[in-house]
Chains A and B, each alone.
Chain A
Amino acid sequence: MKKYKTAFFVGVSNSMEYRFDFFMNLLSTVFPIIMQVFIWCSMYNGSDGETMYGYTFPQMIMYVVVAGAVGKFTNTGVEYMVNEDIHSGGIAKYLVRPVNYVGFCLCNIVGNKFASMITMVFVTLGALLVLFFAVDFVAAPAALLLFFPSLALAAVLNFYIFFCLSTLAFWLTEIGNFFHAISVVIMVMSGGVFPVSVFGSAYETISRYIPLTYTINYPIRILSGAVGAEEAVKVLCIQLIWIFILAVLARCSWNLGLKKYVAVGG
């Protein structure tokens, strides 16, 4: 078990090595959110009704602001790490050592993102404070309490989704652009840009049965109170189930890919 703890700390110190990158990453979260706030301002101004897609203006602003932070929080970037390891032959160093790659990756990534995750929590809290003054948004204590566990599970869930995708690197040589494209699609479908309800009720229904919305949309709805405490616990359970399913899938596709890898060599 200790090896995975070390992997975590290695990740933490790894992320500290590049301070500039760290702050740029932070900055890159803020700009899109500001853009969105302006867009929604003008859209609500131009519309007649009180609500759009079932959200009042304060709710919508709260959604996009928090979605930006949550999206950043749950995005692990594991696909680039795995892709790099596979194509540079770096996985050999895990193959010859008594260590499990998936577990190592998870701990390393969580460690790697740890500093930015902590920062994101504060950014989110700060944003909520601003929202409190700007649009009179108040989060219920129970909602806040349930929000953070769901956020942590969302990050793990996201890790496994992308880990599964990244094992495609075993079969495809050039996959960097695919990751760029697919991560945008996944981000949007998860509700990382605007509420899932914007896509219509059909997708809203489907979204309940796929893991994507449980990475961003549901945690935010828990925070906003759109999902009540009782249902929120259910959401946490569903997150756990998806994590389990995807962890099994990740392990299978990793082993399958590895068979191919050691068959052709790196």
Chain B
Amino acid sequence: MEGIVVKNLSRDFAYYEKEAGMKSSVKNLFHRAKQIRHAVKNLSFEIQKGEIVGFLGPNGAGKTTTIKMLSGVLYPTSGEVQVNGYVPWERKKEFKKQFAYVAGQKSQLWINLPAVDSFALNKSIYEISDTQYRQTLGELVELFGVQEFLKVQVRRLSLGERMKMEMIAALLHRPKVILLDEPTIGLDFIAQNNIREFLKDYNRNNGATMLLTSHYLKDIEELCQRTMVISHGNLVYDGTLEQIQDVFSNRRILNIHWNSPVQKEALVSLGTVKSWEPMRAAIEVDDAAVAQTIHRLFAMFSVGDIGIDAAPLEESIARLYEQGA
């Protein structure tokens, strides 16, 4: 079966704690209290072939741990995973040939070499034919516009350039499943956009399955039809981003411009004042109270202009994050 199936996946880590100070350092030499952290708890989901799924969650939620288990770099404590029908941690050659792992924070290239040498190495590791290699490389290099950097040692490249090289290296063998761990971290918005466009293209042209983690909502918004939110190792949401908004935000923001200055104190009775300047204000209210509040505003003040926005998506997601605790 193509796609990703995860059933009751759990992963615990053992670690040791040390109290501050010299005395406990000595004590720790002889006895260390072992602690267990449940990084991933009983995670289950399915990803269809060709789907792009976003994986959201605060730092330490278990995103990277999950991705590592899906790529076979980590054994689970319990549970099952199948990626295109393979169990990742058996690390079968056929499996490795059809997936790619891209990590924004850990280079998959040989940093002392120019990128083009790393590509050549990948070519022979994945046993890519000369024609396919030339064609794919040509396409990818043109798409990213990195022709001039191919022969520069990777360690001398800027983060954005390096990341583009990482993507090229990961996709040379035309993987069917791509696991991306924060591919856009630390990039400027142009480079982020490049990477996003590129992934979209690749997905469209190759029907590849993708799971990607990111802290940038824009990545998820633009790329993913579906979003999973994980918090404290639990899957707390699985659906579209818009739905998060609907389910979790019954709050609206009224952006008002006045014709004459209005004091902040005069607004407190109407709702939560999010921002205030003499000539304008933003007030958060319950969506049921929107109409009534607007009525009162018009009755009380001279309103020049008024706009109604949904509460920012970040706030809804932040609420989701809290749920997993």
Contact = CB atoms under 8 A, between A and B. Distances in A.
Interface of A: 2-3, 5-7, 10, 13-14, 17, 89-90, 92-93, 95-99, 262-266
A18 to B, nearest CB: 8
B112 A264 contact: no
Contact of A96 (B71, B117, B123, B127): B71
Contact of A6 (B93, B101, B120): B120
A262 B89 CA distance: 9
Contacts of A13: 113, 117
A181 B317 CA distance: 53
Interface stretch (B72-80, B216-224, B242-250): B72-80
Contact of B108 (A2, A93, A99): A93
B124 A265 contact: no
Interface string B82-95: 00000001010100
Contact of B65 (A10, A93, A265): A265
B73 A2 contact: no
Contacts, number: 73
A99 B110 CA distance: 15
Contact of A95 (B72, B103, B121): B72
Contacts of B74: 262-263, 265
Nearest to A259: B75
Contacts of A264: 13
28 contacts: A2-B124, A3-B125, A3-B127, A6-B123, A6-B124, A6-B125, A10-B110, A10-B121, A14-B110, A14-B113, A17-B112, A17-B113, A92-B73, A92-B101, A93-B106, A96-B96, A96-B100, A96-B101, A98-B93, A98-B96, A98-B126, A98-B127, A99-B125, A262-B73, A262-B74, A262-B75, A264-B13, A266-B73
Interface residues of B, number: 33
A98 B75 CA distance: 18
Contact of A265 (B68, B101, B121, B123): B68
A97 B126 contact: yes
B316 interface: no
Contacts of A97: 96, 122, 125-126
Interface centre among B120, B125, B126 (most CB of A within 10 A): B125
Given A90-B106, A97-B126, A265-B68, 9 more contacts: A3-B127, A5-B124, A10-B113, A10-B120, A14-B112, A89-B106, A93-B106, A264-B13, A265-B65
Interface centre among A14, A90, A95, A266 (most CB of B within 10 A): A95
Task: Name the prevailing secondary structure of the B interface residues.
Answer: mixed
Interface string B255-293: 000000000000000000000000000000000000000
B67 to A, nearest CB: 11
Nearest to A263: B75
- Per CB-CB distance, the 8 closest pairs between chain A and chain B, nearest first, are A6-B124, A3-B124, A98-B96, A98-B93, A93-B108, A96-B101, A2-B124, A3-B125
A266 B123 CA distance: 26
Contacts of B124: 2-3, 5-6
Contact of B73 (A5, A6, A10, A265): A265
A89 B117 CA distance: 21
Contacts of A7: 121
B97 interface: yes
Interface in B1-36: 13
A132 to B, nearest CB: 40
A89 B96 CA distance: 18
A93 B68 CA distance: 12
Interface string B291-314: 000000000000000000000000
Contacts of B103: 92
A95 B73 contact: yes
A262 B93 CA distance: 17
A17 B75 contact: no
Contacts of B108: 92-93, 96
A10 B13 CA distance: 37
Interface centre among B72, B120, B121, B122 (most CB of A within 10 A): B121
A10 B117 contact: yes
A262 B11 CA distance: 12
Contacts of A5: 124
B240 interface: no
